[in-house]
Structure 1
Amino acid sequence: MNKPTDFNDLAQLAGPAAVKAAVDQALAGGDVPAPAVEWPDPVLPGMVKVPEIPPDALPSWLGAMCGAVAASTQTPPALSVMVGLSVLAAVLQRRYEVAPFGDDYTEPLSLWTLTALPSGARKSAVFSAMTAPLLRWEKLESDRGRAERARVASARKVAEKRMERLLADAAKAKEDHERERIRVEIQHEKETMPAELRAPRLFTEDVTAERLQAMLSEYGERMALLSDEAGIFQIMAGIYNGGSSNLDAFLKGHAGTAMRVDRAGREAHVDKPALSFGLALQPGVLAEVASSRRFRDSGLLARFLYAMPASNVGRRNVRERVSVPDAVRQEYEALLFRLLEDVPIVPGKPRVLPMTDPALEQWVSFAQEIEDNQGEGGRYESISDWTSKLPGAVARIAALLELAEVGRHAEEVSEVAVSQAVALGRLLIPHAQSAFGLLGTDGTDTDAAAVIKWARGGGRAEFSRRECQKAMEGRFRTLERLTKALQRLEQNDVLRLYTKRNKGAPSTEMCLLNPKLLST
């Protein structure tokens, strides 16, 4: 066997290019395990390179609108795509569910999305364009039902006044049979009084947990919160409750589990609450959210699908003005209106869409792949709370895409829809890693960052695990802790671990640093 190359000396004498050539030669000679010919770009802790989320990830008419809005506002397409998904969820949630296996395991179609962009990124313009049809639909439905709501409101007032008079008569009645007669009349008035009618609502921008419980009860057990402001997190953190956070209504709305509220002056009984989010926040505000540990521990942050696109601020052409084509805007509104046809005032049983066999196989394979990589030492260990929910989110997206493409009469979720949803789910993983890095890296990431700083500071292209532990013994008092940090770095293509065989001596556990880190 050839003598292993001293990569540290080579890095200092000839630079990173020579290191790479020597690495390739050493790999060919068997000194270290054979990797790919080219080193991938390293992913540093808290600095994940995220892919673009293109409009064509969505069905044609929805993708066309997202692309046109992104071009018109000169914003990253990821923002309009995420808002578009939330709008679709607001329209279809509670009315449909997806059952991947065709049994009693179902996923509601509620969806939570969160896009991080700085101030001045034209988030409001995107929200206005994407939610305009929902506002128009609400207004048209309100106008259409105004006369009937007025009639019902009058009938209720008459009944209430009559019950007040009957109660007064009952208080004056001297005979038991007279009081019983009045009681029967009051009961009849209550039973025949028409239920209150409200103008339909699809979404809000700002709501307390207590008001949300009431809105879910009042508006068909479904509601969406679409906003480019951060106020909802302040509400969830308890700004109106003396700092006591109230998350149950939000968490139940994502899961679709029954809600029972019975308090003095307030009650809300909701069998299948459906709540969707479409939020856009400044990165600094998103980082501040992490200050509430309960947001992470409760699973609230794990329910969001994150987009962390690069901002266009500073790169926009202020002379360029591209309007959303009328045909694109009109088709977007028309197809959303078509999906909103026959929306029941009183919620019924959701229609359940199973997956076709090929669709199920693709979804299960994706779910297993995620599962295999999120255990201890796995690629997704640091965001396992988020990845645990990703297959369910992908199933929800697949059903939404199927309904968007086929319409309200879709019978099952196709392989095409699942393929689109899985592709989108894969794109969202690095965005989630970036988001959780911003929210606060875990202890292993912190250790990994310390190793990188030490290795780069000394220009170490190659080093032993023992050398690293000895140099940083104040941090790594146990080998297990260092090993976890090195494994995380290997998963992120920062270094490679291998065993160097020493003739007549014990083997040495070695680390080979990605040469790209020595050239920056």
Structure 2
Amino acid sequence: MSVLAVPTDFNDLAYFEDLEAVANAVNQAAPAIDPPAWPEPMIPGTLRTPDFPEDILRGCWGDMARGVSASTQTPPALAIMCTLGVLATLLQRRFEVAPFGDDYTEPLAIWVVSASPSGTRKTAVLNSFMTPIVRWEKLQYDRYRVLIARANAARSTAKKRIEALNQQAAKCKDAAELKAIRVDIECEEMGMPEEVRAPRLFTGDTTAERLQAMLFENAERMAVHSDEPGIFRIMAGSYSSGSQNLDVFLQGHAGSALRIDRAGRMAHVDKPALSFNLMIQPGMMTEVAGSKGFRDSGLLARFMYAVPASNVGKRDVRKHSRIEPSVRDAYEQGVLSLLEGWLCEPGTTPTIKVLPLDRPAFELWIEFAQYIENNHGDDGVFESIRDWTSKLAGAVARIAALLELSDVGLGAQTVTADAMGRAVRLAHVLIPHAQAAFGLLGTDSTDSDALAVLKWVQTNGYEEFTRRDCQKAMEGRFRSVDKLKLALDRLDAMDCIQEHKRHNKGARPTIYYRVNPKLLDPLSTTSSLS
């Protein structure tokens, strides 16, 4: 067999030289191919969040949510969260849900917070949903105005009369006369009418102390609807020398008995129900995170979060659509229908109706609860937010009951599989929104580490770097390579960097990372972490 003196193909080249020569020849012969374009990177703490499914709400509630979203050109998440806040306001303390059909019940108070930047028309969304509630409150005030004035006049006269009798008693020296004065004082006290107040459904800004009184005054239920973050500052103690008073908020979510016995103030509330519907700027989430007590107390875990992508820069300014009057009217009628029977006699509270789950609804709920349980343990998918996921199954039961009542009305007897299925679908969407929110809160340690690495990369302008160099430069933060690897994996998953291996002869390969050029481009909107 003759041997060719000159190689004529890759097989001959490999025979005369080696495989490395073949690789070099292939590289020289191959046409230049541009590397694939980098996707848009995500900054740690701002996960890509899915859209809310628009079919979660039915009837007039769904029509109104879609109408508001279209009219304001805002993500469906804002309207859906507002609707849930309204439903909870109307139905809390009147209904509860019993997932197992026994003594374990969940009240229908829910806490929702939507994080959206300034200029995203949060106020317009909130006002659209609150208009009939504001109108109802004003109507009640007009109806009660005469009663309030009459009661206030009688109370004022009685107090003045008691004050005068007390002064007379202080000077009296005759025992029989003193006894008669005391009887008169007692009669005035007993005859003094109770203070009359117009019914209230919600407030926007209140202290913990005033909230305790409002729960007492309004048959043990109250809601906070606001597009300002003031309530968080109040919770953090900004207006009380840094002293936090979270008990009334936490008890209002759980329905735990509230007992206030302080000098000049007494309130006994057996089953308080407090709901939140807040719309704030993402930057305020960082301010919220500054309070360690918020996370440790479980307060942050009680909120359901919506962190939709901003619509700023994507709206069509020529497009103007209004909410159809028929949609607004139907929504207002829906609100009023759920308010039937809301009013109570002074000093009384409504009877609570408990809704069990039908069998198919229970199977959907228990399967979801097990899925959450399986994934929020150590090293689980939800480990970093397990305080939040620990409350998610209960929140799903609450949402399902609200959806059932919005579908069927006050005559609902059970929570059906249809309502539960929609609640579970919503919960699967709420999970990544919560992960994004906790990233904004700075409470996800891996996100915090990833953000620190990204700042190091951008400060030094690195187009690529090795894992070894990164750990050495940040050894104060990353004393173990495992902690660094978690942060680098997070950045890789968010398209900020790409992991590569450089093979070394006779040695282990070097792990290095290429940086998304968009993070180094000063003109890119994603290049700044400020």
TM-score between the two structures when normalised by the length of structure 2: 0.79
Q: Which residue of 1 aligns with 2:333?
A: 334
Q: Which residue of 1 aligns with 2:369?
A: 367
Quick one: which amino acid aligns to residue 383 of structure 1? I
Partner-residue secondary structure (3-state), 1:97: strand
Quick one: which amino acid aligns to residue 423 of structure 2? A
**Superposed displacement of residue 510, structure 1:** 12
Quick one: which amino acid aligns to residue 211 of structure 2? L
**Deviation string for 1:258-277 (max 9, x for gaps)?**
11112222222211111111
Relative to structure 1, the CA distance from residue 311 to residue 168 in structure 2 (aligned partners, 3 Å threshold; closer, same or farther) is: same
CA distance in 1, matches of 2:452, 2:232: 32
Quick one: which amino acid aligns to residue 133 of structure 2? L
**Superposed displacement of residue 435, structure 1:** 0.7
Partner-residue secondary structure (3-state), 1:114: strand
Segment drifting more, 466-475 vs 379-388: 466-475
**Superposed displacement of residue 217, structure 1:** 1.0
Quick one: which amino acid aligns to residue 357 of structure 2? M
Relative to structure 1, the CA distance from residue 421 to residue 516 in structure 2 (aligned partners, 3 Å threshold; closer, same or farther) is: farther
Q: Which residue of 2 aligns with 1:135?
A: 134
Q: Which residue of 2 aligns with 1:307?
A: 306
Partner-residue secondary structure (3-state), 1:145: helix
User: Does structure 1 retain, via aligned residues, the 8 Å contact 2:93–2:107?
Assistant: yes
Q: How does 1:441-460 map to 2 (within 5 A)?
A: 441-447=443-449
Q: How does 1:251-270 map to 2 (within 5 A)?
A: 251-270=250-269
CA distance in 1, matches of 2:473, 2:119: 46
CA distance in 2, matches of 1:309, 1:110: 23
Relative to structure 1, the CA distance from residue 128 to residue 349 in structure 2 (aligned partners, 3 Å threshold; closer, same or farther) is: same
CA distance in 2, matches of 1:367, 1:512: 41
Q: Check if 1:71 corresponds to 2:70.
A: yes
Q: Which residue of 1 aligns with 2:211?
A: 212
User: Does structure 1 retain, via aligned residues, the 8 Å contact 2:464–2:515?
Assistant: no
User: Does structure 2 retain, via aligned residues, the 8 Å contact 1:98–1:107?
Assistant: yes
Relative to structure 1, the CA distance from residue 459 to residue 171 in structure 2 (aligned partners, 3 Å threshold; closer, same or farther) is: closer
User: Does structure 2 retain, via aligned residues, the 8 Å contact 1:377–1:484?
Assistant: no
CA distance in 2, matches of 1:311, 1:410: 37
CA distance in 2, matches of 1:233, 1:470: 40
Q: How does 1:85-484 map to 2 (within 5 A)?
A: 85-168=84-167, 170-171=169-170, 174=173, 176=175, 178-345=177-344, 346-447=348-449, 477-478=479-480, 481=483
User: Does structure 2 retain, via aligned residues, the 8 Å contact 1:379–1:488?
Assistant: no
**Deviation string for 1:149-188 (max 9, x for gaps)?**
3443344344444444544554455554554454445444
User: Does structure 2 retain, via aligned residues, the 8 Å contact 1:237–1:244?
Assistant: yes
Quick one: which amino acid aligns to residue 404 of structure 1? S
User: Does structure 2 retain, via aligned residues, the 8 Å contact 1:496–1:511?
Assistant: no
**Superposed displacement of residue 190, structure 1:** 3.3
Relative to structure 1, the CA distance from residue 89 to residue 511 in structure 2 (aligned partners, 3 Å threshold; closer, same or farther) is: farther
CA distance in 1, matches of 2:156, 2:163: 11
Q: How does 1:40-59 map to 2 (within 5 A)?
A: 45-59=44-58
**Superposed displacement of residue 484, structure 1:** 6.2
Root-mean-square deviation (CA, aligned residues, Å) is 3.8
CA distance in 2, matches of 1:418, 1:494: 38
Relative to structure 1, the CA distance from residue 466 to residue 89 in structure 2 (aligned partners, 3 Å threshold; closer, same or farther) is: same
CA distance in 1, matches of 2:515, 2:410: 51
Q: Which residue of 1 aligns with 2:60?
A: 61
User: Does structure 1 retain, via aligned residues, the 8 Å contact 2:495–2:516?
Assistant: no
CA distance in 2, matches of 1:349, 1:492: 50
Q: Which residue of 2 aligns with 1:32?
A: none
User: Does structure 1 retain, via aligned residues, the 8 Å contact 2:224–2:276?
Assistant: yes
CA distance in 1, matches of 2:369, 2:468: 38
**Deviation string for 1:75-98 (max 9, x for gaps)?**
112111111111111111111111
User: Does structure 1 retain, via aligned residues, the 8 Å contact 2:464–2:512?
Assistant: no
Quick one: which amino acid aligns to residue 301 of structure 1? L
CA distance in 1, matches of 2:359, 2:42: 37
Partner-residue secondary structure (3-state), 1:348: coil
CA distance in 2, matches of 1:79, 1:357: 32
Quick one: which amino acid aligns to residue 282 of structure 2? P
CA distance in 2, matches of 1:495, 1:102: 50
CA distance in 1, matches of 2:496, 2:371: 22
CA distance in 2, matches of 1:230, 1:403: 30
- Structure 1, unaligned runs of 5 or more: 1-5, 18-39, 498-507
Segment drifting more, 235-244 vs 324-333: 235-244
Query: Of the two, which has the highest radius of gyration?
Result: 2
Quick one: which amino acid aligns to residue 403 of structure 1? L
Partner-residue secondary structure (3-state), 2:406: helix
Partner-residue secondary structure (3-state), 2:276: strand
**Superposed displacement of residue 14, structure 1:** 7.2
CA distance in 1, matches of 2:302, 2:270: 20
Relative to structure 1, the CA distance from residue 193 to residue 519 in structure 2 (aligned partners, 3 Å threshold; closer, same or farther) is: closer
User: Does structure 2 retain, via aligned residues, the 8 Å contact 1:54–1:81?
Assistant: no
Quick one: which amino acid aligns to residue 426 of structure 2? L
Relative to structure 1, the CA distance from residue 230 to residue 42 in structure 2 (aligned partners, 3 Å threshold; closer, same or farther) is: closer
